[in-house]
Homo-oligomer: A and B are copies of this chain.
Amino acid sequence: MAYGYFASMRTRPGRRAEVVAILLEGVDGLRAAGCSLYAVGASETDPDLILVSEIWESKGHHDRSLHLPETKAAIARAMPLLTGEFTNQEMTVLGGLGV
Protein backbone atom coordinates (compact mmCIF):
# COMPACT_ATOMS: atom_id res chain seq x y z
CA MET A 1 0.00 0.00 0.00
CA ALA A 2 1.43 3.37 -0.93
CA TYR A 3 2.52 5.70 1.84
CA GLY A 4 1.80 9.42 1.92
CA TYR A 5 3.74 12.00 3.87
CA PHE A 6 2.88 15.66 4.29
CA ALA A 7 5.09 18.15 6.10
CA SER A 8 5.24 21.85 6.84
CA MET A 9 8.33 23.71 7.96
CA ARG A 10 8.96 27.30 8.89
CA THR A 11 12.06 29.09 7.62
CA ARG A 12 13.79 31.99 9.23
CA PRO A 13 12.44 35.26 7.80
CA GLY A 14 13.31 35.70 4.15
CA ARG A 15 15.11 32.35 3.77
CA ARG A 16 12.32 30.38 2.12
CA ALA A 17 13.69 30.49 -1.42
CA GLU A 18 17.04 29.13 -0.24
CA VAL A 19 15.43 26.22 1.56
CA VAL A 20 13.18 25.45 -1.42
CA ALA A 21 16.28 25.33 -3.64
CA ILE A 22 17.96 22.87 -1.27
CA LEU A 23 14.83 20.69 -1.15
CA LEU A 24 14.68 20.57 -4.94
CA GLU A 25 18.34 19.69 -5.51
CA GLY A 26 18.01 15.98 -4.81
CA VAL A 27 14.95 15.30 -6.93
CA ASP A 28 16.78 13.17 -9.51
CA GLY A 29 17.43 10.28 -7.17
CA LEU A 30 13.98 10.09 -5.64
CA ARG A 31 12.24 7.90 -8.18
CA ALA A 32 14.87 5.19 -7.88
CA ALA A 33 14.41 5.33 -4.12
CA GLY A 34 10.70 4.48 -4.43
CA CYS A 35 9.14 7.93 -4.53
CA SER A 36 6.30 8.69 -6.97
CA LEU A 37 5.39 12.18 -5.81
CA TYR A 38 7.50 14.89 -4.22
CA ALA A 39 5.83 18.28 -4.41
CA VAL A 40 7.58 21.21 -2.78
CA GLY A 41 5.38 24.23 -2.33
CA ALA A 42 5.02 27.61 -0.71
CA SER A 43 2.14 28.86 1.36
CA GLU A 44 0.43 31.80 -0.35
CA THR A 45 -0.55 33.40 2.95
CA ASP A 46 2.53 32.78 5.11
CA PRO A 47 5.78 34.06 3.55
CA ASP A 48 8.05 31.77 5.56
CA LEU A 49 6.15 28.50 5.35
CA ILE A 50 7.14 25.58 3.10
CA LEU A 51 4.84 22.62 2.48
CA VAL A 52 5.93 19.26 1.10
CA SER A 53 3.67 16.45 -0.10
CA GLU A 54 5.17 13.05 -0.88
CA ILE A 55 4.00 9.60 -1.95
CA TRP A 56 6.27 6.57 -1.61
CA GLU A 57 5.95 2.85 -2.36
CA SER A 58 5.99 2.23 1.38
CA LYS A 59 6.88 3.85 4.69
CA GLY A 60 10.10 1.82 4.61
CA HIS A 61 11.14 3.43 1.33
CA HIS A 62 10.61 6.89 2.80
CA ASP A 63 12.40 6.08 6.03
CA ARG A 64 15.40 4.65 4.19
CA SER A 65 15.61 7.72 1.95
CA LEU A 66 16.28 9.83 5.04
CA HIS A 67 19.52 7.93 5.57
CA LEU A 68 20.93 8.52 2.07
CA PRO A 69 24.12 10.62 2.20
CA GLU A 70 22.65 13.28 -0.14
CA THR A 71 19.51 13.57 1.97
CA LYS A 72 21.48 13.92 5.18
CA ALA A 73 23.72 16.55 3.60
CA ALA A 74 20.68 18.54 2.39
CA ILE A 75 19.05 18.39 5.83
CA ALA A 76 22.26 19.61 7.45
CA ARG A 77 22.41 22.58 5.08
CA ALA A 78 18.74 23.47 5.52
CA MET A 79 18.67 23.20 9.33
CA PRO A 80 20.27 26.59 10.12
CA LEU A 81 17.69 28.27 7.85
CA LEU A 82 14.71 26.77 9.73
CA THR A 83 13.08 27.87 12.96
CA GLY A 84 12.39 24.31 14.13
CA GLU A 85 8.62 24.69 13.76
CA PHE A 86 7.74 21.51 11.89
CA THR A 87 4.61 19.42 11.46
CA ASN A 88 4.07 16.17 9.61
CA GLN A 89 1.31 13.71 8.87
CA GLU A 90 1.51 10.17 7.54
CA MET A 91 -1.12 8.18 5.72
CA THR A 92 -1.75 4.87 4.04
CA VAL A 93 -3.00 5.72 0.56
CA LEU A 94 -6.31 3.94 -0.08
CA GLY A 95 -7.00 5.14 -3.62
CA GLY A 96 -7.60 8.08 -5.88
CA LEU A 97 -6.17 9.57 -9.05
CA GLY A 98 -2.46 9.47 -9.89
CA VAL A 99 -1.61 7.12 -7.04
Contact = CB atoms under 8 A, between A and B. Distances in A.
B37 A97 contact: yes
Interface string A25-42: 001001100011111111
Interface residues of A, number: 34
Contacts of A53: 4, 6, 53, 55, 91
A96 interface: yes
A33 to B, nearest CB: 10
Interface string A1-29: 01010101000000000001000100100
A93 interface: yes
A85 B95 CA distance: 22
A99 interface: yes
A94 interface: yes
